[in-house]
Structure 1
């Protein structure tokens, strides 16, 4: 018996289009008090959004701050047509961003320098950095855009912009897993200037999170490759490439990678800051 060969690296994107009238409506989409699952089958043309000052671009808004749910971030999938993009993409001067390209190519310009990003390309863009973006190619480009308001700390400098590709970042194996569970970390966890991490988590077939993680960090998880059974609060939910999971703070979570290929997802989490307290005493 031989192992099933793993396909070349590919990043799942939205399906788009519109299902036929004959399709059964039952799906895996769910929104609860602790988590939401947006499966790839509901990311259709009819739910896209358009933004001011963006040319030939549409977006699937996967997450936005909701009072009483997840409150720290927003996450979009952008589809930029050839010639599209923006000279004023970020309307909030206090918002930092991460871009991760899954198809096509874009050019991000910052401080007069052009940075080409192809599939696997990653950019960290500090708050107020004044970046621009364009699709200079002849095919549509698809990318994730994660946004979070930066929480500055007196005495700590703000982090600088950087551009890379996941192929240039070695995954770090979780202790005791023989490399079957690993994280591609684009930022050093000990760098306290950063108040969010956007990483890639990889599980080999059969690997798992062997306990119910329950913690303060909010999560956005977009499945890039493979499939798994994911524990979300009290439920086990089957997910696959193209699905998005949205978790509020303290939602218990675990997973089991079902194979036959590796299971990989893009992960957002808020980190490195005190819990904000309401009000105060004079």
Structure 2
């Protein structure tokens, strides 16, 4: 075989290899479950017919090329922050709840002063009481529940509805079919002569608030008054939008990404995140978010307020 033939065969082999690699990359980029893949028009239309927040309860656990890798997880726990992703959730019966499984996502064991957990209520399920002096906030991400209290007041909470329940407030959540709730609990930092009350509402009924210097849309689900020692924010980002301020502050956060995907900076680390991911942020950890993909990002954010650092 002469040099020309050898060169031609080498070039043909190189071209074939390049085509195989290119096709592989295209196949990965178009994969339905690819983490940062651009969804097709068909996929987007199909998603638009799904219930609100459906990706929280039906998450993409991992990119296709990692789904079969034993031991793989995106979850991270560090001194001042944690990323808890769906493949790491461990569900077990919730104490004093009936027919309900819970997954604790944020607890004081990691350094927080609040608890955040998922409650998966099944057929004929009922909540248990909060601990003494503990206030509770629930947000419905799937299904519906009925909230009753000692005075006989009854509310039906659908997806995107929520309730704040003051400490030592007798109440019950009941579910006939199935529902998934995200629940926040903390010991109430009581201020003298300031009494909190039950609040029931829904995100779409809350006004958009001004965010000077920022582009995201903000709603606050609880009153901005002294009886309430925390608030829950709903923050919306369109693709390509990001936080202007690189925040460093004394407040703690618990976050659930309800829709979309993006990049979160926590300390010196950068994390790809998507709907269903949970983040804990300790005081003074540098934090920043940018929305990616082709659809809106929305997250629910716990923030302690009306409290002196002393």
Q: State TM-score, norm by structure 2.
A: 0.78
Q: How much has 1:26 moved relative to structure 2?
A: 2.5
Task: Quote the Cα distance in structure 2 between the aligned partners of 1:152 and 1:204.
Answer: 38
Any idea what the Cα deviations from partners look like across 1:71-123, whole Å, max 9, x if unmatched?
3100011000011113x431x12000110001111001112111100000110
Task: Quote the Cα distance in structure 2 between the aligned partners of 1:215 and 1:151.
Answer: 19
Contact 1:217–1:271, Cα closer than 8 Å, also in 2 = yes
Instruction: Provide the residue aligned with 2:163 in structure 1.
Output: 123
Instruction: Provide the residue aligned with 2:100 in structure 1.
Output: 57
Counterpart check, 1:85 vs 2:126? yes
Contact 1:58–1:78, Cα closer than 8 Å, also in 2 = yes
Q: How much has 1:173 moved relative to structure 2?
A: 4.1
Contact 2:213–2:244, Cα closer than 8 Å, also in 1 = no
What are structure 2's unaligned runs of at least 5 residues? 1-40
- CA 70–219 in structure 1, closer or farther in 2 if over 3 Å, else same: farther
Q: How much has 1:15 moved relative to structure 2?
A: 4.9
Q: Number of residues paired by the alignment?
A: 260
Q: How much has 1:41 moved relative to structure 2?
A: 2.4
- Give SS of 1:215's match: coil
Instruction: Provide the residue aligned with 1:175 in structure 2.
Output: 212
Any idea what the Cα deviations from partners look like across 1:187-227, whole Å, max 9, x if unmatched?
233x1111011121111111111232000111111100000
Task: Quote the Cα distance in structure 2 between the aligned partners of 1:98 and 1:39.
Answer: 21
- CA 21–193 in structure 1, closer or farther in 2 if over 3 Å, else same: closer
Q: State TM-score, norm by structure 1.
A: 0.85
Structure 1 residue corresponding to 2:239, chosen from 205, 217, 221: 205
Structure of larger gyration radius? 2
Normalized per residue, which structure has more helix?
2
Contact 1:230–1:254, Cα closer than 8 Å, also in 2 = yes
Normalized per residue, which structure has more strand?
1
Task: Quote the Cα distance in structure 2 between the aligned partners of 1:76 and 1:117.
Answer: 18
Q: How much has 1:51 moved relative to structure 2?
A: 2.5
Structure 1 residue corresponding to 2:116, chosen from 65, 72, 75: 75
Larger RCO (CA under 8 A, 6+ residues apart): 1
Structure 2 residue corresponding to 1:186, chosen from 205, 221, 230: 221
Counterpart check, 1:158 vs 2:195? yes
Q: How much has 1:22 moved relative to structure 2?
A: 4.2
